[in-house]
A = this chain, B = another copy of it.
Amino acid sequence: MSQNILFIMYDQLRFDYLSCAGHPHLDTPNFDRVAAKGVRFTNAYVQSPVCGASRMCFYTGRYASSHGAQWNNFPLRVGELTMGDHLREQGMDCWLIGKTHMKADAKGMARLGLTADSTIGARQAECGFDTWIRDDGIWGCGPDGFYDKRRSPYNEYLKKKGYPSENPWADFANAGVNDDNEMASGWMFKNADKPANIREEDSETPWLTREAIAFIKQAKGPWCAHVSYIKPHWPYIVPAPYHDMYGANDVSTAMRDDVERHDPHPVFEAYMANKLGQAFQREDVRQKVIPAYMGLIKQCDDQLGVLLDYLEESGQMDSTVIVLTSDHGDYLGDHWMDEKELFHEPSVKVPMIISDPSTKSNATRNTNCDALVESIDLVATFVEMAGGNVPAHIIEGCSLLPLLHGETVDWRDYVISEYDYSVTPQALTLGLEPRDCRLFMVFDGRFKLMHAEGGFRPMLFDLATDPEEFHDLAKDDAHQSDIERLYGHLADWGRRMSQRVTTSEDDIKAMRGTSARLGVLPFLVDGSEVPDELTEKYRGPAPANYLET
């Protein structure tokens, strides 16, 4: 029986905010239900801890430096192959329901004469997906207009449901009402404890779940469906009853230490000092926001339950691979930080749960796997699940199938993540040119190195002795050999073969030795070096003598 793939992504979901990952106060039975059927990867890292860049890594199976869309709204170059391209080659459709944060390469498309009104052009414009519904979920609007210029199916839905606003996403789904009957925007943390001014069923997560079910209902397999929720991403506000399910008592103590602020790395210092970091250094902010964040996750879990129930009722559970993950985490005040962006565990590590119903994966059900997993591994996994061979000259990730099958495999020794902060305020704080605003993480399972372009020293953490990542060992010289070893990994990675995308290993092997049989014979002294048939066309009577003419 051919399998479908339900590839569910949450946005900004921390790896440790699930009960199966040990959260002390948050119960997520539906995430746990998938984990019980499959494997939870406990060391899964994104290749860039920011929405757009991370997703382009997930979708292309390539590092950020390889696909080049290194930050939000840096267009993905035209022609870059994605999950959709690879799966269609295996006869599997690949559909989008939700967010991608992909910006099309409009200049590149125009240069190649492609328009979004053709199938080819539409796929180029939509990251290789066929689009059931696309909604990137951030419908902020300010004096210069909307952040996202596309149409918003979600806002259209709300308007159709009668929400009286030009931007009901902002005015209802992401705002409450204060005591003076005024809009209490979810952008402001002080409002995070209010219920969003919307019927729960109309909020983003249930809406997208219904779209996912509607898609599955009509879909002909084999399909891959990328169900991509905006939540629990900010604005931090959630409808009733989730808004007051959690309170200050459920908020974990911030994982931070004064030692982090002593002689910090300049890039880390700039991040701690920004408005977001400063806000989340306040306990009142954490105690308002984190319960809302937990409520958003709880709602995601409930809606996951709806989806799982639908799969079971419709008899599709045993033919559907389920993948649960996120594009990055959320500092939530840990390390004096908020948001994502740097490489501490709360930011760069993500949940990664895969349930594969095929019998080959029986041995690993309800287990954890601590192998070093990269987000780019998913495309490779999906290609193998769809029956193909991974085109390793294009996809840089490794299929997780052997791990799901419980096989012993030779696995990678380190993971890489990258971050380009050239657009951020920190670039200005540090006075850097864009190309110097690049950070690289190398993590070997114990030591985590951050290299920063621009002439800065590195950062180093030893997660065996310092799992909280408080002590930057690169401040002194005692760990030079570990630093050098990790820099060695980074140098190896820097020389990786990432752009030979038109020519596979097999193509190369097939080319070997062909040129002599095509008459290219530069290695001849007198012809005796090769079989006669290779020189046959170059022998015989002179066809005519033109020397004297």
Please judge, given known A-B contacts A142-B517, A499-B65, A513-B425, whether A508 and B542 are in contact too, CB under 8 Å. Answer: no
- Give residues 492-523 of A contacting B (CB, 8 Å): 493-495, 497-503, 505, 508-509, 511-523
The answer to whether B189 and A525 have CB atoms under 8 Å apart is: yes
* Interface-central residue, A188, A234, A536, A540, by most chain B CB under 10 Å: A188
The answer to whether A502 and B547 have CB atoms under 8 Å apart is: no
Closest Cβ of chain B to A189, distance in Å, is 5
**A68 partner, pick from B105, B285, B502, B534, beta carbons under 8 A:** B502
Closest Cβ of chain B to A466, distance in Å, is 26
**For residue A536, which residue of chain B has the nearest CB?**
B143
The answer to whether B67 and A85 have CB atoms under 8 Å apart is: no
Closest Cβ of chain B to A509, distance in Å, is 7
Please judge, given known A-B contacts A182-B540, A434-B505, whether A525 and B494 are in contact too, CB under 8 Å. Answer: no
**A543 partner, pick from B171, B536, B537, beta carbons under 8 A:** B171
The answer to whether A512 and B547 have CB atoms under 8 Å apart is: no
**A85 partner, pick from B111, B276, B392, beta carbons under 8 A:** B111
A256 interfacial contact with B, CB 8 Å: no
**A538 partner, pick from B164, B187, B202, B549, beta carbons under 8 A:** B187
Please judge, given known A-B contacts A111-B120, A502-B69, A502-B75, whether A518 and B147 are in contact too, CB under 8 Å. Answer: yes
A23 interfacial contact with B, CB 8 Å: no
The answer to whether B199 and A546 have CB atoms under 8 Å apart is: yes
A185 interfacial contact with B, CB 8 Å: yes
Stretch at the interface among A76-84, A296-304, A318-326: A76-84
* Interface-central residue, A74, A497, A539, by most chain B CB under 10 Å: A497
A487 interfacial contact with B, CB 8 Å: yes
A478 interfacial contact with B, CB 8 Å: no
**For residue A549, which residue of chain B has the nearest CB?**
B199
- Chain B residues with CB under 8 A of A435: 392, 497, 505
The answer to whether B490 and A164 have CB atoms under 8 Å apart is: no
Closest Cβ of chain B to A275, distance in Å, is 4
A217 interfacial contact with B, CB 8 Å: no
Stretch at the interface among A190-198, A258-266, A400-408: A190-198
A514–B211 alpha-carbon span in the complex (Å): 32
A221 interfacial contact with B, CB 8 Å: no
Kindly supply a per-residue 1/0 record for chain A positions 447-489, scoring 1 wherever the CB is within 8 Å of any chain B CB and 0 otherwise. 0000101000000000000000000000000000000000100
A260–B522 alpha-carbon span in the complex (Å): 24
Kindly supply a per-residue 1/0 record for chain A positions 137-155, scoring 1 wherever the CB is within 8 Å of any chain B CB and 0 otherwise. 0101111111100000000
Chain A: interface secondary structure? loop
A544 interfacial contact with B, CB 8 Å: yes
- Give residues 430-457 of A contacting B (CB, 8 Å): 433-435, 438, 440, 451, 453
**For residue A194, which residue of chain B has the nearest CB?**
B547
A497–B65 alpha-carbon span in the complex (Å): 7
The answer to whether B118 and A519 have CB atoms under 8 Å apart is: no
A545 interfacial contact with B, CB 8 Å: yes
A526 interfacial contact with B, CB 8 Å: yes
The answer to whether B164 and A543 have CB atoms under 8 Å apart is: yes
A541 interfacial contact with B, CB 8 Å: yes
The answer to whether A541 and B182 have CB atoms under 8 Å apart is: yes
**For residue A187, which residue of chain B has the nearest CB?**
B521
The answer to whether B183 and A539 have CB atoms under 8 Å apart is: yes
- Chain B residues with CB under 8 A of A503: 68, 70, 74-75
The answer to whether B500 and A427 have CB atoms under 8 Å apart is: no
Please judge, given known A-B contacts A77-B502, A422-B508, whether A543 and B165 are in contact too, CB under 8 Å. Answer: yes
A327 interfacial contact with B, CB 8 Å: no
Closest Cβ of chain B to A88, distance in Å, is 10
Please judge, given known A-B contacts A142-B518, A491-B494, A523-B274, whether A502 and B107 are in contact too, CB under 8 Å. Answer: yes
- Chain B residues with CB under 8 A of A487: 491
The answer to whether B199 and A518 have CB atoms under 8 Å apart is: no
A65–B501 alpha-carbon span in the complex (Å): 11
The answer to whether B143 and A541 have CB atoms under 8 Å apart is: no
- Chain B residues with CB under 8 A of A198: 546
A359 interfacial contact with B, CB 8 Å: no
A339 interfacial contact with B, CB 8 Å: yes
Kindly supply a per-residue 1/0 record for chain A positions 120-140, scoring 1 wherever the CB is within 8 Å of any chain B CB and 0 otherwise. 100010000000000000101
Closest Cβ of chain B to A548, distance in Å, is 10
Closest Cβ of chain B to A531, distance in Å, is 9
A362 interfacial contact with B, CB 8 Å: no
Please judge, given known A-B contacts A120-B112, A185-B535, A505-B435, whether A494 and B497 are in contact too, CB under 8 Å. Answer: no
The answer to whether B141 and A502 have CB atoms under 8 Å apart is: no
A240 interfacial contact with B, CB 8 Å: yes
The answer to whether A188 and B524 have CB atoms under 8 Å apart is: yes
- Chain B residues with CB under 8 A of A279: 523-525
A181 interfacial contact with B, CB 8 Å: yes
A170 interfacial contact with B, CB 8 Å: yes
A309 interfacial contact with B, CB 8 Å: no
Please judge, given known A-B contacts A142-B537, A538-B170, A542-B181, whether A112 and B111 are in contact too, CB under 8 Å. Answer: no
**A183 partner, pick from B519, B520, B540, B547, beta carbons under 8 A:** B540
7 A-B pairs with C-beta separation under 8 A: A68-B500, A143-B534, A175-B538, A177-B542, A274-B523, A275-B523, A428-B512
